[in-house]
Structure 1
Amino acid sequence: MDLHFKIQDWLKARKNHLCHRQLVIISGPENWAEKLSQEIITIAEIPENKLLWVGDRLDSSLNVDCLTYRQHLGTEYDALVYNVYTGLSASALIAFSGTIMAGGVMILICPDFTRWPDYPDPLASKRSSYGCNQNAEQSYFTRRLISLIQNDLDTIVITPERINGHNVFVPQEDIGRKLNSSTPEQQTIITSILSMSDSHKDRPIVITADRGRGKSSALGLAAKELIEKRSKQIIITAPNKKNVEQVFAFAQSSSVAQGDTNTNLAFVAPDALLAEPHEADLLFIDEAAAIPASILKALLNKFSSVVMSSTVHGYEGAGRGFELRFKPYLEKNKKGWKAFTLTMPIRWYKNDCLEAFWFRCFMMEDITSFSTDKHITTITEAVLPIHPDSIIANIESNKVIEISRAQLVDDPILLHQTFSLLVNAHYQTSPDDLVRLLDAPEQRLFTYTLHSKVVGVALIIEEGGDNLSKLSTAITLGDRRVNGHMVAQNLALHTANQKFCCIKQWRIVRIAVDKPQRRNKIGSALLNAISESAKTKSVELLTSSFGASENLLNFWTQNKFSPLKLGFKRDAASDEVSLIVGRALSVNGSTSVSKVRDQFTKELHYHISRYHRMTNTALLSKLLIQCKCESITVDEQRRVACFLSSKNPFDTFSQVLAKYLLMKLSSIETISDIPIGTDLLVASLLQFKPTETLVTEFKLSGKKALNKHIRLALIDL
């Protein structure tokens, strides 16, 4: 039968039956594929306002750029066409798939499968570091994507020669369920919110859900009942007013007017909510994962009845950070808080095949769904043989090995184990990171195996060297900033030393260890293996950059990494300042690191009372023992001794006491040797925290007690 008639039969079946949303692949020459896509849209009678065309489109300007996907979240379409010839963005694919209505189709226009892995993706340069040509070799991500498409009967594949695949009909038992209506899960949440409004207990409610699960409608329906039947005053906050449009839509009543602060439901931005006095019976915080943790904590302390909700789309972005970082805070500080997860989709039917495909593609399903036997067999075959570019860090046990991108894509279990460790260890993993893992030529991957299972992984990015040296002057002067080479560029600019652009270095992006295996020196074993491998490739410097915390600083300093630069601004997701650390692997690298350490010492001493007054004091204490300081003079020793033997107020002697403190800290060998009272000394003598703050923070009875404890702490140094 002619291809045209087969396509008509497929579309006719979709029109006559209730079908799941479906992925459609049109693989072939671009012009032909675009014309066929338009023909399908025409036959299916999809109006232009219900169609979203992403990427190039023949004879029409009604199309959007794939990188504008965030602007389309919350909108709905009957069909979406994505032209991969224009460029592939993993995050855009996932986001756009969530805009398609029940029964709709997502059409991907792509090259012939035999050519696609070698197709020069226009967006490849955005995913790789400057000087690295990602299109120089085939795309392993595309190779894997093609394999998933070919093995999925629920995906329609159309080529110039044939059409494969079939429609997936919604089961009869699901057809009776009305979409966009409340589910039993939502009713449970609504009931809990209503109960909380009556109890007045400080027990926050946290709602997490993938997109399309009715999180916003649950908040809106709860608000509607609270206002109409109980006359409650509700404030809702979110990163952007657009985020809560659906909440207001579901809460519509005569007493609700969006944005009007005189009504029962009002939107107030998070910063304004803290800066100005506001009263409400309940506070709703929508998209909480995108609000800095410090603001969330302040809001929890300001309002007694709080409902937080967040989109956690698999592992994507800040939603994952909310899981990893903020829930432990609630566990410690808000006993009795309740967590709810919405799993039933309300905008499409359960077991939706479009969502299932993209979840498989980006490994959003549970890794434990794979059998143990498959784990053991596959990992043994994939990891233990030595790849030509691999290094064995421990010949006797074969535990640490470098894994190639080809190995990852050829072994799905190895890929799942590796990527799931990276996802669970970090709060800002996105679908694009999977593409980089498989395709970015400057990335390297080391794994630690135990009983043939991957329990540790380290991800490396090559920086500096020949690729960056020709731009070293412009980068150092601040005239250029290129993709990648994050630490190399940062240090060159910060130190006014273009040498950091020229040094060949590896940045350790992430180290992840399976939770049951932590504290077993696996992370250190990975670092040692990386160091040995780097030396064989003439790498002169290892670096890393991360949100500074006491535990992470302990880990890096124990592994001979020195702090090189402490940032000023807190990261919105982690609520921590960034810290760059480094470890020299050559004489040249050692000279450079030594100079930066000297600069770090001077800057930390200078900035600690200016930019770091609110930084974690215990962290600063641990950083200060990494700083070498000059001894105090005989006259200064006499002044310190005078204070220690008197009852004089400490602020009279604060300058010399601060210098004495810095000298004593620089003589401490390890973090474990820091005396207990050191944090009080750092907070008072170096951070210059106000007396009232010090008394409260260190649980003292008053200024007299503060003076006494400072004296005792100095004696213990």
Structure 2
Amino acid sequence: MAQNSVYSWLYSPFVNAKQRITHRRLLVIADDEAACANKVAQLLAPPSKFNQGEQSVSTIVVGAEGTLQANVRKHLLGNEYDIGVLYCHRGFSPSDLLALAGTLRYGGCLILCTPPFKQWINTPSMAKVSYGYQQTYSRYIARLTNIFIETHEVSMWTPTRLHLAPPETTSWTPTHCHPSTAGAPTQSLEGESDIPLKNQTVEKSIEKDTQKNIRIGRRQETLGAFNADELVGVQEVGESVGVQGLTDKMGVQEVGENVGVQGLNKEQRTAFNDFVAMQCLRGILTAPRGRGKSTLLGVIAAYFVSQGKTVYITSTVRRNVDALIKHCCGAFTTIKQKGKNSYFDPKTGGVCSWLATDNPKLFYGQCDLLIVDEAASLPLPTIKTCLSHHPQWLLATTLQGYEGSGQGFIHRLLPSLLAKNALHRTLTAPYRWVTGDKLEILLNHLCLFEGYSFNNDLVSSLVDRVSVDEKYSKLSRVTKCDLDTMPYGELNEAMGLLALAHYQTTPDDFLRILDSEALLLFVYKENGRIVGAAVIYNEGGEQLAPLAHEVAEGSRRPAGHMSAQRIALLAGDGSFAKQKYWRINRIAVHPWFRNQGIGTQIIEEIKQFAHHHNIDCLTSSYGAKPALNRFWHNNGFVTIDTGIKVNKASGDISALVIYPLSKEFNEKANLLTSLYANNNNSNVFKLTELDKRVQKVYLAKLWNFCHGHLSLEQVTMPLASFCKLLFANDIDKNELQPLLCTLPLNTSELRKVFKASGKSDLNDKIRNWLIRNLPKS
């Protein structure tokens, strides 16, 4: 039966004692959710001859009813499993797919449960579709399913098809091409029934393997005769990892009881020696998933504890550091647990404690070493504050899109720390799986997360061939792409560039780029290679018109239309929401081709396309810093708003810029620039001293605040201008006058005067006060 064949195939790496040199695998089960659940339940039942006292393999199920649901990647970081199951019937996230895969060990299997393919590609892939648009077809899922069907290394189980790829130990590279132009014949969805249900070769090999040994925790359950030599150098499933168990040989890990630094692999040992040799340890450790980062951190923590030192470890989620703590305690058998999140060495008095990211000890406590794990998941200001209170620290993180600050960590925090003589080390050799692991390569290929690479010699030749003047003379170099026919190689180049352009790029962003009906993609090619790209979102217009009034008053915030909504809210006028906008969401140029006018050329071509399509205004929102401000202003854009809060990824406030195109919007732009100038004026003017259009907007905003549509932070200038007029002829000294007429508002003093219990209560009491004093017409 098919079930038995899949069952034997699934457990074969654990049966044949070759788990530690076997590539991880992908099994796609395409069926309705109930059928998938039934199959998975049978597959995850432990083999009958396994010791029932210990679990043979560790498993995790995500996305099914009653299990961890979507957006669980932050809970998966730092954990390890042998089999992971991801259900896609209730939604699909490439980020969750990659995060779950990153937890799987040697020989493990990722089971992807999907709806039938023809149904799946016609199911909306995005949780939120821009208001006024519909998604009835997913380019991303269609591409995914085509690759599943075409790729022999992907095992598949459907009602009409069973294909099981034999577990392998050889390296592999996928064909980097678009499905429509792949070298292998394309197998249509309708053609699945033509594929044999059985895979006799695999079944026979599995039957042979089941006569060997199954590894169970720290025991061995013999199902039949086996060769003991096959087990040498292979770590038993569930065995704790010691540094002595880490070798340089083939990345294979052996069993070790106590940690010795000599047991670390070459990269880990070098990083360990470099960090602990520092007179004042200030270091950064980065690595892709599965490179032994947690192991190294655990050894470093254990080293300090063995010296009688105090170590603080922090992360956004406690479970993320389970592996780190395990390796710390396993490094020296003398380290014992002390309390829920504390560990100590009774011989030296050293202590290692995990602290939540808001624990006061991180900011006021004393420790000898602060370790921040998955640092890129924390807001940059939080990290900077933590580091300022501790002389010795070690930041560690993956940088693959699962994190909160992502590229912001690379482009903002890392350079500033290196400038202060921090030491940066990177781990590249796989630790959790074999080198050249098929699953890692395949999933990066599937999820368009392979990154962008250029051979240095190729880049140099491209740069030498074309002068800057020639670039400016040929706008034809910039083209608008058809995402339905774009070759895979070009798609990967464009996505790699766009990942560089945003501080919080995740694999989910590529899904949105491919599937959004509101999106346009422009690319700049140099001798056939994409070296520049821009993503544009259609906003406003007839799609947003039904909610124009509610958007302008602040009572509705529909999905999408970011700049259109922000502009309408700034003006307090629904007609602004009805204008047609193109928002430049991302614009990127390959680092080798920057400062040559390519970005400007892309924008010029976008302007021409926008004119042709009767767009009223181009917009963009970005992390405001001098270089970017100059870029946008030099291209004719005008700033009309800056944000209130600092972005956790970039550490900057956001700036909103516009480039009016239509005559109608040019007139509207005058109001926006007047509002911006007044809102950023250091002086507060009486309401009657302002332009009449600004007066009207300010009064409308104050009434919207009174109705609960806007926050106090959104109306500080209108409030101050109105109060300055209100108190202008007040002979008696009013205690509210200096508080309400001066910016920034002193909210702590206002709470005292209004006798407010907190922020919400203060807002309510100021609203009631305004209702009594605002003009009624």
Of 236, 239, 248, the residue aligned with 2:325 is 248
Q: 1:417 aligns with which of 493, 500, 515?
A: 493
3-state SS of 1:570 partner: coil
Partner of 1:108: 112
Question: Which residue number in structure 2 is paired with residue 643 of structure 1?
Answer: none
Identify which of 415, 425, 435 aligns with 1:328: 415
Equivalence for 1:93: 97
Distance 1:495 1:186 in 2: 56
* Distance in 1 between residues matched to 2:277 and 2:678, nearest whole Å: 55
Distance 2:313 2:11 in 1: 45
Q: Secondary structure at the match of 1:471?
A: helix
Equivalences for residues 659-678 of structure 1 within 5 A: none
Alignment partner of 1:278 is 2:278: no
- Deviation (angstroms), 1:415: 0.9
Aligned to 1:578: 654
1:317 and 1:429 in contact (8 A); partners too: no
Structure 2 CA distance, aligned partners of 1:8 and 1:263? 47
Is the CA contact 2:57–2:82 (under 8 Å) kept in the aligned structure 1?
A: no
Which deviates more from structure 2 when the two are superposed, residues 71-80 or residues 257-266?
Answer: 257-266
Distance 1:586 1:542 in 2: 10
User: Cα offset for 1:450?
Assistant: 1.9
- For the pair 1:218 / 2:303, whether they are aligned, the reply is no
Deviation at 1:420, TM superposition (A): 1.0
CA contact (8 A) 2:362 2:389 kept: no
Identify if the C-alpha distance between structure 1 residues 296 and 69 changes in structure 2 by more than 3 Å, giving closer, same or farther. Answer: closer
The one-letter code sitting in structure 1 at the alignment partner of 2:106 is A
Deviation at 1:592, TM superposition (A): 1.7
The residue aligned with 2:15 is: 16
Structure 1 position 361 matched with structure 2 position 446: yes
- Aligned residue number for residue 390 of structure 1: none
Contact residue 637 and residue 657 of structure 2 kept, 8 A: yes
Change (3 A) 1:64 1:534: same
Q: 2:380 maps to which residue?
A: 293
One-letter amino acid matched to 1:149: F
**What is the match of residue 672 of structure 1?**
none
* Other-structure match for 1:311: 398
- Report the 3-state secondary structure (helix = DSSP H, G, I; strand = E; otherwise coil) of the residue aligned with 1:86: coil
Q: Higher helix proportion, which one?
A: 1
Residues 294, 580 of structure 1: alpha-carbon distance in 2 compared, 3 angstrom cutoff: same
Greater CA drift, 217-226 or 168-177: 168-177
The farther-off stretch of 280-289 and 510-519 is 280-289
Structure 1 residues 282 and 498, CA, compared in 2 at 3 Å: closer, same or farther?
same
Alpha-carbon contact 1:110-1:116 (below 8 Å) kept = no
Deviations 1:321-362 (A, max 9, x none): 212222221233x13x32111223333333332222212222
User: Of 331, 336, 341, which aligns to 2:426?
Assistant: 341
Q: 1:4 to 1:49 in 2, by over 3 A?
A: closer
Quote the Cα distance in structure 1 between the aligned partners of 2:255 and 2:96. Answer: 25
Give the deviation of 1:429 after TM superposition: 0.6
What is the letter of the counterpart of residue 217 of structure 1?
Answer: T
1:436-458 Cα deviation digits (max 9, x unpaired): 12111101011112222211111
8 Å CA contact 1:258, 1:266 repeated in 2: no
Paired residues of 1:458 and 1:508 also in contact (CA < 8 A): yes
- 4+ residue runs over 6 A deviation: 45-49, 369-374
**CA distance in 2 between partners of 1:131 and 1:497 (Å):** 20
Counterparts of 2:569 and 2:57 in 1: how far apart (Å)? 48
Output the aligned Cα RMSD. 3.6
Aligned-partner Cα distance in 2 for 1:463–1:204: 46
Matched residue, 1:54: 62
Say if 2:587 and 2:599, in contact at 8 Å, map to a contact too: yes
Match of 2:268 among 143, 163, 186: 186
CA distance in 1 between counterparts of 2:361 and 2:640 reads 35
User: In structure 1, what is the equivalent of residue 131 of structure 2?
Assistant: 130
Deviation at residue 573 of structure 1 after TM alignment? 1.5
| 3-state DSSP of counterpart to 1:53 | strand
Q: Counterpart of 2:126 in structure 1: which amino acid? A: A
* Match for residue 83 of structure 1 among 76, 84, 87: 87
Q: Distance in 1 between the 2:296 and 2:104 partners? A: 21
Residues matched between the structures, number: 579
Matched letter for residue 352 of structure 1: D
User: For residue 499 of structure 1, what is the aligned residue in structure 2?
Assistant: 575
Q: 1:498-537 alignment to 2 at 5 Å?
A: 498-537=574-613
- 1:523 Cα offset (Å): 1.1
Pick closer, same or farther for the CA change 1:551–1:301 going to 2, 3 Å: same
State how far apart, in whole Å, the 2-side matches of 1:88 and 1:272 are. Answer: 34
Q: CA deviation at 1:24?
A: 0.3
Aligned counterpart for 1:27 among listed residues 30, 36, 51: 30
Which shifted more, 545-554 or 65-74?
65-74
Q: Supply the distance in 1 between the matched residues of 2:253 and 2:56 (Cα, whole angstroms).
A: 28
C-alpha spacing 1:263/1:130, structure 2 compared with 1 (3 Å): farther
1:188 counterpart letter in structure 2 = T
Structure 1 residue 63: Cα displacement: 2.9
**CA drift at 1:475:** 1.9
Contact 1:233 1:265 in 2 (8 A): yes
Residue among 201, 204, 224 paired with 2:282: 204
Give structure 1 stretches of 5+ with no counterpart.
378-392, 609-628, 630-685, 689-717
Q: Following TM superposition, by how much is the alpha carbon of 1:257 offset from its aligned partner in structure 2, in angstroms?
A: 5.8
2:670 aligns to what? 594
Alignment of 1:541 with 2:617, yes or no, is yes
Distance in 1 between residues matched to 2:355 and 2:34, nearest whole Å: 49
From the superposition, tell whether residues 288 and 29 of structure 1 become closer, same or farther in structure 2 (CA, over 3 Å). Answer: closer
State the partner residue of 2:756. none
